[in-house]
Amino acid sequence: METISAKLISWASILDEKTRAQALATSTLPFIYPHLALMPDAHLGKGATVGSVIPTLHAIIPAAVGVDIGCGMIAVRTQYAVQDLPRDRKRLREDIEKAIPLSAGHNNRTIKATAEPRIAELRKLAAKAGFNPAQYVEKWELQLGSLGSGNHFIEVSADETGAVWLFLHSGSRGIGNKIAQHHIGVARHVTQKRGTRLPDPDLAYLEEGTSEFNRYLAELRWAQHFALLNREEMMDRVIEQFSRWLGGHVTERERINCHHNFTRQETHYGKSVWVSRKGAIKAEHGDPGLIPGSMGTASYVVEGLGNPASLNSSPHGAGREYSRNAARKAFTLAELKTAMRGIEFRASDAFIDEIPAAYKPIDQVMHDAADLVKVRHKLHQLINVKGD
């Protein structure tokens, strides 16, 4: 841990100057309390740093939550071991790719039976919150149970004992993005009207007690729940395909579902604050959590240690070292194939920017997080599914 300033504490041993400067700028906002915490996977983000924990008094910065509201991980530990699996892993990958819409803009064509009760739950929640999600995306229901693109993935992995895990990463899809972008715009408008000077326009904030704040919070909470149910829906479909592939029922030994782009009200250092975790998971003492590496490196199942200086938080993944554009210029498909040797995946130029070398070494990130979480399991991929 490094104390960069009175308002900025960092656990990142790998931290470029632009990211450091961005975090320092955010930490100067007068309503940050007690300090901003940078996680080991910290890297440059829109307005606020990805991999940061931002506690605010009586205000929320929508861009500090991120545009993929509620993005996170879900994992299920099955009763199967690696030796139980068929050799033809390509078939399962292709079956998962058919069962779940992949890539940006790709949604379900119809509402699946498994999704109906979840959509009904979301409709009730939206009505209670006093808004209609269709004002953002007309057919938002068709997005439930879809993956998206970028660093989102579905994986079959094995832990150090050989136990097989099903693992995926996704968020609130297009509907969450539209909600986030709208309220980032509202925050900019009210901040400009207020005449407040900021180090970055994307650090525009909404003040607690205002109608704009209340509207954002209601829709934010809805989008966070959409993201959680989206992961549940996809995991159920993955389990179905996995069961068919094996010809046997899946017994869930454990299921973990956690956000890493979200806001919630918590008490820290004697005060009630809004804690925005942008690329960070909640890691109170005993909290189960999931920290993925890149598409070709290890992922971790962890347990929170409740470190108060980190505001009970931990990293959410490896964190990028190369921007997507820089990675596409620096690496080749041949290098990606080499990095993914032994893992069943769809080899495509579209995934070059997701090559493991574009990310911080996950083992270094976990070393930096040693006082934030305890490692329960280390997972290695057998199958990787991504959207392009």
295-321 pLDDT, tens digit each: 999 999 999 999 999 999 999 999 999
What is the pTM for the complete model shown? 0.96
Where along the chain do its domains lie? 2-386
How many Å apart are CA 289 and CA 74, to the nearest integer? 9
Q: Which residues are catalytic?
A: 316
**103 confidence band (pLDDT: 50, 70, 90):** confident
Statement: residue 366 has pLDDT above 90 = yes
State the CB neighbour count (10 A cutoff) for residue 201. 13
pLDDT at 268: 98
Q: Quick one: pLDDT at residue 186?
A: 97
Round the average pLDDT of the chain to a whole number and report it: 96
| CA atoms of 229 and 112, how far apart (whole Å) | 14
pLDDT per residue over 80-95, tens digit each? 999 999 989 999 999 9
Q: Are 242 and 264 in contact (CB under 8 A)?
A: no
Under the banding of pLDDT at 50, 70 and 90, the label for residue 104 is confident
Query: What's the pLDDT at 182?
Result: 97
DSSP per position, 292-334: ---TTS-EEEEEE---GGGTSEEE-S--BSS-HHHHHHH--HH
Q: Which of 274, 278, 272, 251 is nearest to 264 (CA)?
A: 274
- What per-residue string of b and e applies to 331-365 under the rule 16 or more CB within 10 Å gives b? beeeebeebbeebbbbeeeebbbbbbbbbbbbebb
pLDDT bin (cut points 50, 70, 90) of residue 381 is very high
pLDDT at 28: 96
Enter the tokens of residue 259: 């956000």
pLDDT at 388 over 90: no
The separation between CA 309 and the C-alpha centre of its own chain, rounded to angstroms, equals 22
CATH superfamily membership of 2-386: tRNA-splicing ligase RtcB (3.90.1860.10)
200, two tokens: 């970055």
